[in-house]
Homo-oligomer: A and B are copies of this chain.
Amino acid sequence: MTATIIGLGLIGGSFALSLKDKGLCDKVWGIDHSERNAAKALELGLVDNIITLDKAIAESDLIVLATPVDTIPVLATKILNRIGKHQILMDMGSTKEELIEITSMHPNRGRMVATHPMWGTEHSGPEAAEHNAFTGRTVVICEKEQSDEDALRQVVSIYSTLGMPIRYMSAEEQDMHCAYVSHISHITSFALALTVLEKEREEEHIFDLAGGGFESTVRLAKSLPKTWAPIFLGNKYNVLDVLREHIHQLQILRRMIERDDRDGLIEAMQRANKIREILK
């Protein structure tokens, strides 16, 4: 099988490696609007060749969209306009409602499978690509009934070969759940980094004193803004909903501290401890 990956950063680059490592593709080609990233991906051996979109559409069995989420609906439509009956288009974006809406009436919609592999790191670019990145992580497939059976079967078999449990959801469900378990974590991390950088002028102290705790809560603040701004805006209503609740919870804790409400704090933290059972 010949695959073309569009977007050769952390996700696309890691997926390219997985396709080759697992012997799923004999040829993996790449496209990236950044010449530097394209050259780097080739140099790192993530892809065998850098090609044009025309060649990708003419000669690929599988086309994979791993670009920022705000670019996916338009790119997907352009590709569906020209894709053949035996070719497959898949995306790996973190939000889905807009993509599903934009493509819903497209006569070739069936050739597309909308997926979201639940893996990422705070690093970015081709250099951040990892072998076996996705193994053991869950992948969400959205609105599977809108995909042709053969296309769905092919994509499912790829993810299964990578060792990924598959969950089927509507675009609405996926965007809501991802706001809770992924997007909000990034927002709080960015805000925490801004807080500390704002307050803590003596960087030396941050560096010296930051124990493992600080580093893990702020790690995601290293993530790529051009990746995450479109995700927050593309999932605006869910993200705002969770963000509102998060600020509310912080205000409750703040009032308890103001009032020296030791018992209230302990009770709230004991409820928070329940996360322990969920994340074994």
Interface residue ranges, A against B (CB under 8 Å): 118-122, 137-138, 140, 165, 167, 177-178, 180-182, 184-200, 202-203, 205-223, 225-226, 228-230, 232-233, 236, 239-247, 249-251, 253-254, 257-258, 260, 262, 265-266, 268-276, 278-280
Contact = CB atoms under 8 A, between A and B. Distances in A.
Contacts of A245: 195, 198-199
Interface residues of A: mostly helix, strand, loop or mixed? helix
B192 A228 contact: no
A209 B168 CA distance: 12
Contacts of A239: 257
Q: Tell me how many chains of this kind the complex includes.
A: 2
Contacts of A253: 187, 190-191, 243
A89 B266 CA distance: 29
A17 B115 CA distance: 48
Contact of A257 (B177, B196, B243, B278): B243
Contact of A193 (B195, B203, B210, B272): B272
A245 to B, nearest CB: 5
Contact of A209 (B177, B215, B220, B241): B177
Contact of A275 (B193, B257, B262, B266): B193
